[in-house]
Amino acid sequence: MSERLDRIVDEARDHLRPDGRGDGDDWSRVDQRVFERISRDVVVAKEDRFRVARMNYRGSPRLWGGLAAVAAAAALAFVVHGPRSSSVAGVAGVNDAPRGDSTSVASVAPIMPIMPGAAGSPAPASNGLAQGSTLSGHEGDGEVRIAGAPVEPGRGIAVGDRVETTSAHAFFQTPRAGGPGSVSWSLEEQTKIDVRRTEGALVLALAVGAVEAQVTPVPNGEAFALDVGPTRVAVHGTHLRVARAGEHVTVDLSEGVVSIGAPPRVGSTYGTLVSAPAHIEFDASSVEQTLRVVRDAAAVRPPISLTPASAALASQGATPPADHASLAPHHSAPPPSHAAEPAPHPAPAVADDPASTVTAAVRACAGKHVNPADVRVTVSSKLSMQVGDDGYVHAARFDPPLAPAAQDCAARVIYKTRFPQAGPVEIPIEIAP
Amino acid sequence: MVAAAVLSPAFRDAFAGAPVAPRVVPLRAMSDDDQLLSRAVAGDTEAFRLVYERHRVDVARLVYRMLGAKSDLDDVVQEVFVQVYRSLKDFRGQSKFSTWLHRVTVNVVLMHRRAARSRPAYAEEAPSDVSGDEDAPLPDEEADRRERMRAFARLLERLPEKKRVVFILHELEGIAPVEIAKIVGAPVLTVRTRLFYARREIEAMLDDEPALAALKPMWKGDGP
């Protein structure tokens, strides 16, 4: 080997190493993800064994019940100890699909094939909860309808109900508010959902609009799941908002962990685990190919209070607290119709020229994240955005994609820019060196 | 001051057929690995954690060198250890654990690269970070070194896949061709041939990278 190559190789041996991935560096994020996935494997293996057992003892439901109890106990008992890793109990994935092999793409756990017929009402991992919800209040001029009829607070929901809002923001609460597995959830304006399951876990199917939910963590299984087309967003304990516009889905995860994948025939959703904070986008019909996660708190829509302002006021007496504005949604809710209610959170003004603002931000981010040693070429990309009724961007996509770091950087501006009109917006952007 | 130029006899020997002693111990000595592995195979996740903590730095370094970018590093390292966990029961101890671990790592990285090739990208991210020195070089020296490493990574990226793998495993990781043959599943002679041609191709490409070509006069002139 030439002297020059020898020297370069010697230098590379010592210095071609990743920063932050040596001894003494913080590995906690990798540790957590590795052992979350491994714990899921352990539970899958146990479920497989129990499935075999069930086949062998199909005529003995009592025995099967006992085995299931042992499985649950085993899942709970699987706790990985370590100085920088958290417990992974309860983040269980169960899937009948083949387990991932060496060909699976990193960071994306195997996702079951989409089975439209199976997506009707698959049972999430049972946690013994009864999750029938009650309408606790609504805000806005419009109506909340269940099965086509306007309803008032106190009305419960049942499996098969279609719940829809017009120009109103509806708030629901499952029993045992604040207890493990309790769910506070809300429907934004112009939202339609179908109630698919209320026993074991609350499962809703989002047809259009947006659902925001806060779920008190359960020790095992899933307390809440939202089906969006053939894809399920399953929740162990979290605060999240899921919005659907056609097939495009955005999830803003401000707390906890969700699993995104196809609904399982039984057990927990075996999909991609995403932890907060994260802004997630995907197409419901092809989540595996389109899933994009922005792990940046700045890109996540701020969570709203899931207590209706009127209910909060009633519980606190007639005089609203000084900081009552925090009870109002930060975005999307229209001004309350009566004077006693708090003023809505002041929304940022519509940008003078939002398209230019976004374009400039994208160019700045692309310029900042390009390697100076790269060959300079002019790149054209089309930024397609879906602007919601509140003027905020609900979904954004670059075609072709930019470098991940540049996209993440641009997302911080895109999701904070307010547009004057709702609907799709497309901005062709040319990025020159 | 430029340090003395060091020839690489091991590299020449690699093709000449002489036995090559690894200059770098790629994975740490594993005196009690067997015991830990036995416990891990039996389902002891704490034992697997110890195995993981023992080898994660080495795996991350190899993944980084093979990926040519850091953006997916953590994801791929994660995938490697998940695959290791899933496949532990198939590890019979017929080869060294380090060899087996390298094989899993190489396979996961190659699969990841193939999957990534189908995704369009604005710009291929070259390694933008290299480890620091305890000697804390001057900023200019540090900047030059980083640029050399980026340039070298680009050269590696241009090598055909099979040659790149054996070059990295041998030249950077210090693994003997006999072990590399087990890792990549090819005869030892094939490994040596790939090493020879990899080296020749990289040498031919050196002048394409200004950061490396610019060093030529200095290195030629500044002997020890």
Mark whether A145 and A268 lie in a shared domain. Answer: yes
- CA atoms of B213 and A430, how far apart (whole Å): 33
Structure token digits, residue A84: 């920088």
Mark whether A130 and A69 lie in a shared domain. Answer: no
Are the Cβ atoms of B115 and A105 closer than 8 angstroms?
A: yes
- Of the three residues A77, A107, A141, the one that is the final residue of a domain is A77
Q: Is the minimum CB–CB distance between B130 and chain A shorter than 8 Å?
A: yes
Give the chain B residue whose CA is nearest to the CA of A381. Answer: B122
Based on the structure, what is the number of domains in chain A?
3
Q: Do the domain assignments include residue A384?
A: yes
Mark whether A271 and A214 lie in a shared domain. Answer: yes
CATH of the domain at A277: 2.60.120.1440
Low-confidence ranges of chain A (pLDDT < 50): 52, 54-122, 125-128, 311-348, 372-375
Tell me which of B56, B80, B82, B133 to substitute to probe the interface with A (most A C-beta atoms closer than 10 Å): B82
Mark whether A281 and A358 lie in a shared domain. Answer: no
Domain that holds residue A417: 354-431
Please, what are the domains in chain B? Answer: 9-118+138-221 (1.10.1740.10)
- Going by pLDDT thresholds of 50, 70 and 90, the confidence category of residue B35 is confident
Q: Do the domain assignments include residue A306?
A: no
- Condensed to tens digits (0 to 9), the pLDDT of residues A266-316 reads 666 666 777 778 889 888 888 877 888 887 777 788 777 776 655 443 444
- Going by pLDDT thresholds of 50, 70 and 90, the confidence category of residue B127 is very low
CATH of the domain at A382: 3.30.2420
Mark whether A144 and A287 lie in a shared domain. Answer: yes
Are the Cβ atoms of B6 and A6 closer than 8 angstroms?
A: yes
For B152, which of A12, A17, A22 is closest by C-beta distance?
A: A12
For B71, which of A31, A80, A404 is closest by C-beta distance?
A: A404
Mark whether A272 and A390 lie in a shared domain. Answer: no
- Going by pLDDT thresholds of 50, 70 and 90, the confidence category of residue B224 is very low
Mark whether A125 and A242 lie in a shared domain. Answer: yes
- CA atoms of B172 and B62, how far apart (whole Å): 9
Q: Do the domain assignments include residue A9?
A: no
Tell me which of A26, A38, A407 to substitute to probe the interface with B (most B C-beta atoms closer than 10 Å): A38
Are the Cβ atoms of A16 and B24 closer than 8 angstroms?
A: no
Q: Provide the pLDDT for residue B10.
A: 38
Mark whether A168 and A52 lie in a shared domain. Answer: no
- Judging contacts by C-beta atoms under 8 Å, the chain A residues touching residue B77 are 21, 30
Chain B: nearest CA to A159, how far in angstroms? Answer: 39
Q: Do the domain assignments include residue A321?
A: no
Are the Cβ atoms of B6 and A10 closer than 8 angstroms?
A: yes
Whole-Å CA distances, A119 to A124, A280, A405, B3:
12, 21, 35, 66
Mark whether A73 and A134 lie in a shared domain. Answer: no
Chain B: nearest CA to A313, how far in angstroms? Answer: 47
Torsion A234-A223-A294-A392 (CA) sign: positive
Mark whether A192 and A139 lie in a shared domain. Answer: yes
Q: Do the domain assignments include residue A255?
A: yes
Whole-Å CA distances, A104 to A39, A110, B109, B111, B114:
17, 7, 11, 8, 11
- CA atoms of A215 and A239, how far apart (whole Å): 6
> What phi and psi values does residue A307 have, to the nearest 5 degrees?
-110, 130
Q: Provide the pLDDT for residue B69.
A: 67
Mark whether A131 and A59 lie in a shared domain. Answer: no
- How many A-B residue pairs are in contact by the CB < 8 A criterion? 194
Q: Is the minimum CB–CB distance between A24 and chain B shorter than 8 Å?
A: no
Mark whether A66 and A151 lie in a shared domain. Answer: no
Q: Provide the pLDDT for residue B56.
A: 92
Instruction: Note the ipTM here.
Output: 0.73
Are the Cβ atoms of A4 and B60 closer than 8 angstroms?
A: no
Q: Do the domain assignments include residue A348?
A: no
For B219, which of A7, A374, A402 is closest by C-beta distance?
A: A7
